[in-house]
């Protein structure tokens, strides 16, 4: 997969796991269980509707190609008057996107076997990560997390927030990739696993915008000195020194105070 070559293979912490990441990613893309769970979770039938079509819609040509729909007949007999047709997407319904491999890579430090990595990845993706790249009204979807990030930053750092507004700096443009990838590829592996462990422990992804806002608070002195989006992105491009637990403890103490 091209994404693995562009992300994990170029990361000093994960390049040694390239083959393992590839195996797990391939298994994930071919697992229809993921599609069934996501369709049940998000209430969408669009992803599975194309998997079966009435037999009358399938031409009887030797090639098995439907000239109208462009789908091809799959192997096997018709089921209940319907003929199985191939889908235009992977069986999991998840088309790999840039950064996908970074959901897999950190788990290579947790498990040695590809099978164990896969089942952990699948469970976490279905329950948590799938909400990070689907637009929904869920209170832990990416839209709600983005709104919460801006509210937290405005509450914790009102002067910094005004400074950003006055200089056309958009904090969300910087924080969005952090949250979409659950900080994978930004934090070093041990700190990232601390964060993911807390997400599992609290059963909440609200920690993502909380940590993102806390990073801005940590770098506020440098951010006050700049007046452009590019400069802000440069200041916040390296999160390798971030300590997750102390930073979240500080943020939570401010909220409770």
Query: Which residues on adjacent β-strands are paired with residue 187?
Result: 184
Domain boundary among 125, 150, 184: 125
Could you list the residue range(s) of the whole structural domain that residue 242 is in?
134-256
Same domain for 117 and 142, yes or no, is no
The domain boundary, picked from 125, 147, 181, lies at 125
Query: Do 104 and 23 sit in the same domain of this protein?
Result: yes
Q: Same structural domain for residues 31 and 138?
A: no
Distance spanning both ends of the chain, measured CA to CA: 47
Domain final position from 95, 125, 155 = 125
What radius of gyration do the chain's Cα atoms show?
Answer: 22
Q: What is the CATH number of the domain that holds 171?
A: 1.10.472.80
In a domain, 162, yes or no: yes
In a domain, 79, yes or no: no
In a domain, 184, yes or no: yes
φ/ψ of 85, rounded to 5, equals -130, 150
Q: Within a domain: residue 56? A: no
pTM as predicted: 0.81
Shared domain check, 224 and 162: yes
Q: Is residue 209 part of a domain?
A: yes
Task: Please report, in tens digits, the pLDDT of each residue of the chain (257 residues total).
Answer: 677 777 887 888 999 999 999 999 999 999 999 988 888 887 654 444 344 334 444 344 344 444 444 444 443 444 444 444 445 468 888 887 888 899 999 999 999 999 999 999 999 999 999 999 888 888 999 999 999 999 999 999 999 999 999 999 999 999 999 999 999 999 999 999 999 999 999 999 999 999 999 999 999 999 999 999 999 999 999 999 999 999 999 988 877 65
Domain count, the chain: 2
């Amino acid at each position: 997969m091209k994404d693995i070559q562009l992300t994990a293979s170029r990361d000093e912490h994960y390049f040694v796991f390239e083959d393992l990441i590839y195996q797990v990613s391939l298994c994930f893309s071919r697992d229809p269980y993921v599609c069934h769970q996501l369709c049940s979770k998000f209430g969408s039938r669009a992803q599975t509707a194309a998997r079966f079509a009435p037999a009358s819609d399938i031409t009887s040509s030797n090639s098995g190609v439907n000239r109208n729909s462009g789908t091809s007949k799959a192997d096997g007999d018709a089921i209940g008057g319907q003929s199985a047709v191939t889908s235009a997407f992977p069986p999991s319904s998840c088309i790999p996107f840039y950064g996908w491999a970074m959901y897999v890579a950190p788990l290579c430090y947790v498990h040695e076997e590809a099978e164990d990595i896969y089942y952990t990845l699948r469970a976490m993706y279905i329950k948590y990560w799938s909400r990070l790249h689907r637009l929904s009204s869920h209170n832990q979807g990416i839209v709600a997390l983005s709104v919460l990030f801006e509210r937290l930053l405005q509450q914790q750092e009102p002067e910094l927030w005004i400074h950003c507004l006055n200089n056309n700096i958009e904090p969300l443009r910087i924080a969005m990739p952090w949250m979409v990838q659950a900080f994978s590829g930004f934090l070093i592996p041990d700190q990232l696993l601390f964060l993911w462990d807390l997400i599992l422990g609290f059963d909440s992804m609200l920690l993502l915008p909380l940590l993102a806002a806390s990073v801005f608070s940590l770098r506020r002195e440098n951010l006050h000195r700049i007046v452009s989006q590019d400069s802000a992105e440069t200041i916040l491009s390296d999160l390798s020194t971030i300590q997750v637990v102390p930073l979240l403890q500080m943020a939570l103490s401010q909220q409770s105070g």
